[in-house]
Structure 1
Amino acid sequence: MSKILFVVTGADTWTLADGTEHPTGFWAEEAVAPYEAFRAAGHEVVVATPGGVEPTVDPASLAPEVNGGQENADRIAKALESFAELRRPVRLEDVRLDDYAAVFYPGGHGPMEDLAVNADSGRLLARALESGRPLGVVCHGPAALLAAVGADGGNVFAGYEVAAFTNDEEVQGGLADRAKWLLQDRLTEAGVIVRTGEPWAPHVVTDRNLVTGQNPASSAPLAEELLKRLG
């Protein structure tokens, strides 16, 4: 079967407006749900991070209250233990796009710290978009789109419709008034068209080969859409 590239944040803190470092990383469900779907379909997953650092799971993403209770939180934590590829990432800088049939970016606040300004990630996203291969990005993962700048200085995703973590969700999550910037605002400023759904409900937007999801609950349906495109 095919190889799917997971590009995961290498950040374990998110710098807030007052300089405070808020613990973060990747969001557990957003990595686990697609991983399980892809592996069940017989695909191989390779994880890449900036510098090849082992990614950190956002501790908040393992809490029962964000996972529908303790039972599911325990299931996701156990699934992470089986996600061995997270513990042997390759260097994002060394990735050859031609080796992969699809590319996927999970979220968590981590991408707002590193991938939003990572030129290697930006170039990879631009090439993936141009190539026509399935490209999936969920929740705060679309922060990485901000680094995808074309030769003309504009964002290569300008004019594309996307789903991403919304201002309303950031407010309800309690961090909006402490953030340096909000993802929905910054994407809009870059010319990306953010289509919002109900807070915390599954919401997936497809535009050409780009498939995006609004929040953790969107991870599984986004993965299913990518699988359809892989055939």
Structure 2
Amino acid sequence: MMMNKVLVVLTNTTRYKGTDDATGLWLGEATEFVTEMSAAEIQVDYVSPQGGFVPLDPRSMKYTDQAIMETYETPDFQWRALSDSLTPDQVNPEDYVAIYYTGGHGVMWDFPDNQALQQIALAIYQQGGFITSVCHGIAGLLNIRDAEGHYLIANKSVTGFTTAEEVIAGKKSVVPFLNKAAVEKRGGHFRHKRFYREYAIQDDHLITGQNPFSAKAVGRKLVKALHATD
């Protein structure tokens, strides 16, 4: 497979539904992954369910480092990711070797039922590409079905933000579902390690990371997988 572009999926959700609490993209989950792609000379594009503006989860700004801020401050990221993200209908799946679903709690509301994004992801997968996610980004994988109507994650090992991590984050009572239960309901095998520790796994052409500290690991596994399929 030729090294080509990776499509990064971002949320448009600005608040936890039913509350006044702000949410949005967890910044590091985008920038740290993009940094890994840049190091491997893989280009990225950014898409969101509605296109355009992508909000940042304000809490994610407390967990930045120099590398995160360097990517955040680039004109490219400020414009293409946060201001003018693509709409799904602007995306040609044939241009991409992988799709990467970022997290931030907002994705729990606008990723699971977006059929346009599901069709893009499935097309990338069917042409030999990879579907990847980190943390709450697993929400984007939940309802992808294959040509026979089966859930793509059925009988696959995946990971995402755990119930223990929701409790620690203080959000268990406001999220619309819990990732482990949602995965298992669809026949998937939910794997995890200790809370807030880096953990990413690969099962065939699915690569998933557990929490915000796992974005780099997902990126590294994807780069390795892409080189293996070259």
Residue 40 of structure 1 aligns with which residue? 39
Distance 1:46 1:197, change over 3 A: same
Q: What is the CA distance between 1:78 and its match in structure 2?
A: 4.1
Q: What is the CA distance between 1:144 and its match in structure 2?
A: 1.0
Residue 6 of structure 1 aligns with which residue? 8
Residue 88 of structure 2 aligns with which residue? 92
Distance 1:129 1:2, change over 3 A: closer
The count of aligned residue pairs is 221
**Range with bigger deviation, 220-229 or 124-133:** 124-133
**Range with bigger deviation, 28-37 or 2-11:** 2-11
Q: What is the CA distance between 1:28 and its match in structure 2?
A: 0.8
**Range with bigger deviation, 147-156 or 204-213:** 147-156
Cα RMSD (Å) of the superposition? 1.8
Distance 1:224 1:29 in 2: 15
Q: What is the CA distance between 1:214 and its match in structure 2?
A: 0.1
Equivalence map 1:95-174=2 (5 Å)? 95-150=91-146, 153-174=149-170
| Letter matched to residue 132 of structure 2 | G
Structure 2 stretches lacking a partner, 5+ long: none
Residue 185 of structure 1 aligns with which residue? 181
Q: What is the CA distance between 1:152 and its match in structure 2?
A: 5.2
1:148-205 CA distance string (max 9 Å, x none): 1345554222111101111111011111123332122112112121101110001111
Distance 1:61 1:97 in 2: 30
Query: What's the TM-score once normalised by structure 1's chain length?
Result: 0.88
Choose from 77, 81, 85 the match for 2:73.
81
| Letter matched to residue 81 of structure 1 | E
**What secondary structure sits across from 2:142 in the alignment?**
helix
Instruction: Verify the 8 A CA contact 1:202 1:218 in the aligned structure 2.
Output: yes
Instruction: Verify the 8 A CA contact 2:198 2:213 in the aligned structure 1.
Output: yes
Structure 1 stretches lacking a partner, 5+ long: none
Q: What is the CA distance between 1:228 and its match in structure 2?
A: 1.0
Distance 2:117 2:179 in 1: 17
Q: What is the CA distance between 1:111 and its match in structure 2?
A: 1.1
Distance 1:199 1:135 in 2: 23
Q: What is the CA distance between 1:26 and its match in structure 2?
A: 1.0
Query: What's the TM-score once normalised by structure 2's chain length?
Result: 0.89
**What secondary structure sits across from 1:187 in the alignment?**
helix
**Identity rate, percent:** 30
